[in-house]
A and B are shown apart, each in its own frame.
Chain A
Amino acid sequence: MKKLFLALTTLMLAAPVFAATATSSIPMSVEIAKQCTFSNVGSEIILKEDGSDTTAGYTVTCNTPYSIFTDNAKWYQGWYSYISNAQNEWLKTGVGTRAVRDNALVTLHTGTPLARPGYSVDDYEVRIHVSTPITATTRAGVYTDTYLVSVYY
């Protein structure tokens, strides 16, 4: 009985002497991938015979700086594109895109894409008009083109 008591006492005394702390760490991180999205993209731009502007719009939302660039499938030159019919007859169109927030112009087909700071929801407005006068002998029918916009980030 004496022996057992002594042994227990020894163990209890020894325990505080050998106390230690084991530590470790687990790094935690979140990687947010760069992302840009288009929304509210106009479904169609229907031009007017009288040469007045037709407007359309879209929204770009980016979580990083980006640059934006526009083009037309049937680019002509400068700020002009064209629409054409099944007979390959064409009419010149004037194309302009601006950032609604600060009226900055977005380049068309050539030039440096417009750099934007991002981290925002940016609205853009497109204005297109037929610049070739439509006369009484301009062939009736449907003339088409496609407006293109790209965001680099």
Chain B
Amino acid sequence: MKTLTKIALITVAALSSALTQAATTSASIPVSLTITKKCTISDVVTNIVIPNDTTSGTGSFKVTCNTPYSISTSTSNTTNATTFVKSTTNASHTLNTNITVDLNGAAVPVNVGTPLAKPGLVVDTYNVNAALVAAVVATTPAGTYNDTLNISVDY
């Protein structure tokens, strides 16, 4: 009988202990943000006036990307390496040009060549130089000659 009483007491003690023991329940929720890839071209010079001699007219533009990108340019008058400006009144009148685009000396292709790869994550300011290959002479037909430089950023 004494033995039974002891067992009963031990059982009660064990139950009591179980009921007072601290417990923890946990949960979790994943948190995420997805920033989409984005590139902008800004502060694009409105016009580059090319001097009549062989000095350069200059301009610039900025590329801002939050991801690596590659950049290339093309001209409207041709897809070849030899670029030119064209008379607005007579398309047969052309003047060859030398156009360069660079970022701190790293060349961006114009019409031909491998696009320049950049890591992005900064604001990159590109310089544009455009010059006539040969200076205008006294017999060069008067008029306005133009071309357009197109900028393409892939990301």
Contacts and interface: CB of A to CB of B under 8 A. Distances in A.
Contact of B23 (A34, A42, A83): A34
Interface string A118-153: 000000001010100010111111111111111111
Interface stretch (A2-10, A14-22, A45-53, A103-111): A45-53
Interface residues of A, number: 44
B49 interface: no
Interface string B114-151: 00000011110000000000000000000000000000
Interface residues of B, number: 29
A46 B25 contact: no
Contacts, number: 119
Nearest to B120: A137
B19 interface: yes
Nearest to B22: A152
A121 B131 CA distance: 77
Interface SS of chain B: strand
B15 interface: yes
B33 A91 contact: yes
A33 interface: yes
A147 B35 contact: no
A102 interface: no
Contact of B35 (A37, A43, A72, A139): A139
Interface of A: 31, 33-34, 36-38, 41-49, 56, 58, 72, 81, 83, 91, 93, 126, 128, 130, 134, 136-153
9 contacts: A36-B25, A47-B32, A49-B35, A83-B31, A143-B34, A147-B30, A148-B28, A149-B27, A149-B28
